[in-house]
Amino acid sequence: MKNNDKSISFGKKLGIFFLRMMAFLLTFIIVLVVTLMISLKMFCSDSFPHVQQTFVTTILETGQLKFLASLFLTADEIQEIVDQNSMKAFNDEINTDLIQGSGFGNINVKTDCVQEPTQDIEIIEVAGTTFTGTMMIVKDPSRISLATIYPWREYGVTLDELVTSNDAIGGINGGLYNSTNNSGGSPYGVIVSHGEIQYNKPQEYPGLVLIGFTEDHILQIIDISKMNAKDIENLIAEMKIRDAVTFQEEASDANNHFVQLIINGEAREMNGMGSGLNPRTAIGQRADGAVLMFVTDGRGKSGHLGASCADLISVMQEFGAVNAVNLDGGSSTCMYYDNEYLMTSVTFYYSNSSWKLPAGFIVK
């Protein structure tokens, strides 16, 4: 009987301990949720206009967290914030005469660290107020091409796989693609690789812009939002586009993306901040033909929120870009060079790699 009493007593103690632990965890979760909701409400409050605008414009650029903005703000309030921090339309055609491709040029920039050029490639670290970034300068634009996993499938590959499987030395992520559950096996919009149209659905998303290089190695930035598949075929043939991706120019509470940064030496005009703060991938070209590939961190990585549209324009201007665009950013942002990642995904589970991609700009 005594042994049974001890067993019952131990069982009761274990049960009480379990209940106390459950109560503690439940209390902790409730406190955490309440704290989060209070914080979100504060971020969305018009009592702190700058915080509100930064939070809303930043969160609308994410793939999965857009709904957070609508927890305390109406659709009209969100759109008003978007409109106050939008960019003016910028659809000028590229003036190819501004790209000479005759020399390597000398750009005087303020940087934290500059590596010695390797095979006409420079890697430069850039420090901003809310981000750190890496600039890859490829002085010979003919070395840039678009690598893909075509034919498309459910799962893509990481950037290092894309680079090494094509005997390249480096690369960055490119345009829109299916990133659901980090599948990455199929692009959106239009894909051209080595002159071959591998994907052609220009009406798949509103506001698509084609970003790529001609056979003469000139960066082109072309609004294709009103084109159909046949128009794209004609465009690629007439412009002699050899490698290209698409990204989205569309500002609303559903999609808040931007593309054009600098066209023919003219920076894009903005209202307010222009955009939120996020990890970014951008590509541009100098007057001497050199290609500028730029990536930044953000979303808490290294304690940084990320870069804005204004930040990208400022950096690209500093490095002498005549033309420059914003590519797919956020968790997709990555840069690989000389057998190591110079920028990896901001996603916790993929912090030592990139997300799976269907395509990316590589450097041979």
pTM, full prediction: 0.86
pLDDT single digits (tens) 259-268: 999 999 999 9
CA atoms within 13 A on the CB side of 225: 12
pLDDT single digits (tens) 283-309: 999 999 999 999 999 988 888 999 999
pLDDT single digits (tens) 226-257: 999 999 999 999 999 999 999 999 888 777 89
pLDDT of residue 225: 95
Phi then psi dihedrals of residue 195, to 5 deg = 85, -5
Query: By three-state DSSP, how is residue 250 classified?
Result: strand
Sign of the Cα pseudo-torsion (120, 157, 306, 260, in order): positive
Residue 354 structure tokens:
């990139």
Q: Of 364, 295, 277, give the one whose Cα is nearest residue 332.
A: 295
pLDDT of residue 5: 55
- Using CB atoms within 10 Å of the CB of residue 147, give its burial: 0 to 12 exposed, 13 to 18 middle, 19+ buried: buried
Task: Identify the segments of the chain with pLDDT beneath 70.
Answer: 1-13, 15, 33-34, 36-37, 39-40, 42-43, 101-119
**E-assigned strand segments in the chain:** 113-114, 121-127, 132-138, 144-148, 170-173, 190-193, 196-200, 208-214, 219-223, 241-248, 250-251, 256-257, 260-263, 266-267, 281-286, 291-296, 321-326, 335-337, 340-343, 359-363
Going from the C-alpha of 58 to that of each of 72, 275, 316, the distances in angstroms are 16, 7, 21
pLDDT of residue 50: 80
**E-assigned strand segments in 264-309:** 266-267, 281-286, 291-296
